[in-house]
Amino acid sequence: EDQVTQSPEALRLQEGESSSLNCSYTVSGLRGLFWYRQDPGKGPEFLFTLYSAGEEKEKERLKATLTKKESFLHITAPKPEDSATYLCAVRTGGTSYGKLTFGQGTILTVHP
């Protein structure tokens, strides 16, 4: 069974204090690893898709990387508006049409 584990569960940073969120996965036949951001009471907002080990993607203060066992979401000089829950999800091969398996998320709070 596919498993996705995110750590830490919660992270509190000061504005400008860079850090990383971790997503480790145990799956058979990874087809894609997805990062989403979710604000309270809203649906997840797509950030990145990573397909193969060694791949990196950047968007503003965020950078996502992928290895064969885990992915990191690096946040550089975060601002209070980066506060949200960050979700990691995987899509695997076989008959997994339409199915993403999610981790429990990391709640990020950035204090001014």
Partner 1 sequence: KAGVTQTPRYLIKTRGQQVTLSCSPISGHRSVSWYQQTPGQGLQFLFEYFSETQRNKGNFPGRFSGRQFSNSRSEMNVSTLELGDSALYLCASSHGTSLTDTQYFGPGTRLTVL
What residue ranges bind partner 1 (CB under 8 A)? 31-32, 34, 36, 41-46, 49, 51, 87, 89, 91, 93, 95-105
CA distance 17 to 67: 24
CB closer to partner 1 out of 99 and 111: 99
Q: Which residues pair with 49 in a beta bridge?
A: 34
Question: Least distance in Å: CB of 44 to partner 1?
Answer: 5
Contact (Cβ atoms closer than 8 angstroms) between residue 75 and residue 62: yes
CA distance 64 to 29: 20
CB closer to partner 1 out of 31 and 79: 31
Question: Least distance in Å: CB of 51 to partner 1?
Answer: 6
Question: Least distance in Å: CB of 77 to partner 1?
Answer: 27
CB closer to partner 1 out of 28 and 46: 46
Question: Least distance in Å: CB of 17 to partner 1?
Answer: 27
